[in-house]
Chain A
Amino acid sequence: MNPLLKVENISKYYGSRLGCKDVNFDLYPGEVLGIVGESGSGKSTLLNCLAGHQEPDTGKVVFDTRADGPKDTVTMSEPERRMLSRTDWAFVHQNPRDGLRMGVSAGGNVGERLMAVGARHYGDIRGTAVDWLDKVEIAEDRTDDRPSEFSGGMQQRLQIARNLVTGPRLIFMDEPTGGLDVSVQARLLDLLRGLVRELGLSAIVVTHDLAVVRLLADRLMVMKDGRVIETGLTDQVLDDPQHGYTQLLVSSVLQV
């Protein structure tokens, strides 16, 4: 089996300040990778470099494309990269407002992604949209409502539907459960786990919440000051951390 994503020596500086440095990893189909670290550790910079939102200063992000096999997305042309981010990639933002069109109906938000990849038949688009809204537990009678009329949890689920409707193979998630109540968080986690398993998706999840990665991620990367200081199986890193910082991080979690 070939890796879906091969990340080699990614570094990013903001002027003289370090964003992230020398990051290497492989992600295989069906795998969920968690990236944890405190604010400013470089995890969001890394995610943005991987997803093509920022250009890294050095390194390669090689994605196994459907048409041409492995290709470096950093040196790929802009239209090619945009096409990738509309089809094989998805990006779930922490704030659903960054990933949704707030003035467009829920059905429209999902349908728009389909139209971007060439769907034209209104009935089909609406049918698929309603189908996906149902998958993320948004009732059909809310299809024509705008996301601004939705609760935070519903907006986040709508963002996930909008992202997954085109059948991507890789999802980037930035604090997907960040602003949500714990009760809503649990439901979203279960939804994401089910979708990952049923659709065989790969995902990279950035979060500072260790409980979230324990339930969602197969593997874990711990970042500090822009560098990856520890990697491994999620439960192994959390239960038998090797690096001093990870030990501190794990032992600092409040018990409920």
Chain B
Amino acid sequence: MISIENVSKTFTLHNQNSAVIPVMVNANLRVAAGECVALTGASGAGKSTLMRMIYGNYLTQAGRIIVGELDIVTALPREILQLRRETLGYVSQFLRVVPRVATLDVVSEPMLAVGVARDTAHERARELLTRLRIPERLWLLSPLTFSGGEQQRVNIARGFAHEYPAMLLDEPTASLDVANRETVLSLIEEAKQRGAAIIGIFHDEAARKRACDRQIDVSVYTPRAS
């Protein structure tokens, strides 16, 4: 489902003497449908960078990143947008939404974007928010007023609202209590059961072992300072 071949990435800082910083060289990774692969490595090794490259959020200088049928490296913006709407989900560490929009609508939005009827979308949103223990009295408020942990759970509900065939999860269990961590792990398990290919970053080793079938240390792709 996801195939990464000989991928390299550099940052060029034009306003700092055009410094060129290589951050990844010749990365390779394949994830099959129904499989969850963990990215590991020390902070700064490039786990999130690789994830952002797969999502098309960072440009890739060399190699191929195939998700479904599409090569992200050469795809047009509108092809990537369609892939993000239908095929590739991403749960980032931070919630980014229009202010003053109700939580229920924030969670429903990815479903509305693929044409799910509003009632059906709201029903699924309610179900997810209940499972993630967001109290019902908060559903009509904007999640931007919530605590950090609550925001993260809203973000997860939104990420799992549409059943994407491929998913990227950046620290989905960080700063969650035991009960909510269990819920997230079972959401991941359910996604795998229906055949989703998942790439995840988990600091929590126990969670990583439960959710993931194997792990890849991205620091082998980090260029050594010479």
Contact = CB atoms under 8 A, between A and B. Distances in A.
A236 B78 contact: no
B77 A218 contact: yes
Interface stretch (B53-61, B154-162, B179-187, B200-208): B53-61
A247 B112 CA distance: 34
B57 A239 contact: yes
B59 A240 contact: yes
B76 to A, nearest CB: 9
A251 B80 CA distance: 25
A218 B98 contact: no
B14 A197 contact: no
Contact of A236 (B12, B14, B56, B113): B56
Given A242-B59, A243-B14, A247-B13, A232 B101 contact: no
Interface residues of A, number: 25
Contacts of A104: none
Chain B: interface size category: 20 to 34
Nearest to B113: A197
Nearest to B53: A240
B135 interface: no
A233 B99 contact: no
Interface in B88-117: 96, 98-101, 112-113
B81 interface: yes
B189 to A, nearest CB: 29
B15 interface: yes
A239 B57 CA distance: 7
Given A197-B112, A233-B56, A236-B56, A242 B98 contact: no
Interface stretch (A5-13, A129-137, A187-195): A187-195
Interface in A176-223: 183, 186-187, 189-190, 193, 197, 214-215, 218-219
Contacts of B96: 214
B99 A219 contact: no
Contact of B80 (A31, A214, A233): A233
A248 interface: yes
A15 interface: no
A239 B15 contact: no
A2 to B, nearest CB: 13
B78 A28 contact: yes
Contact of B100 (A186, A218, A240): A186
A193 B58 contact: no
B220 to A, nearest CB: 23
Nearest to A234: B77
Contact of B98 (A189, A235, A239): A189
B12 A242 contact: yes
13 contacts: A31-B78, A183-B100, A190-B100, A218-B77, A218-B81, A232-B59, A233-B56, A233-B57, A235-B57, A236-B58, A239-B58, A240-B58, A243-B14
Interface of B: 11-15, 52, 56-59, 77-78, 80-81, 96, 98-101, 112-113
Interface of A: 28, 31, 183, 186-187, 189-190, 193, 197, 214-215, 218-219, 232-233, 235-236, 239-240, 242-244, 247-248, 251
Q: 3 closest pairs, A vs B, by CB?
A: A244-B14, A186-B99, A240-B58
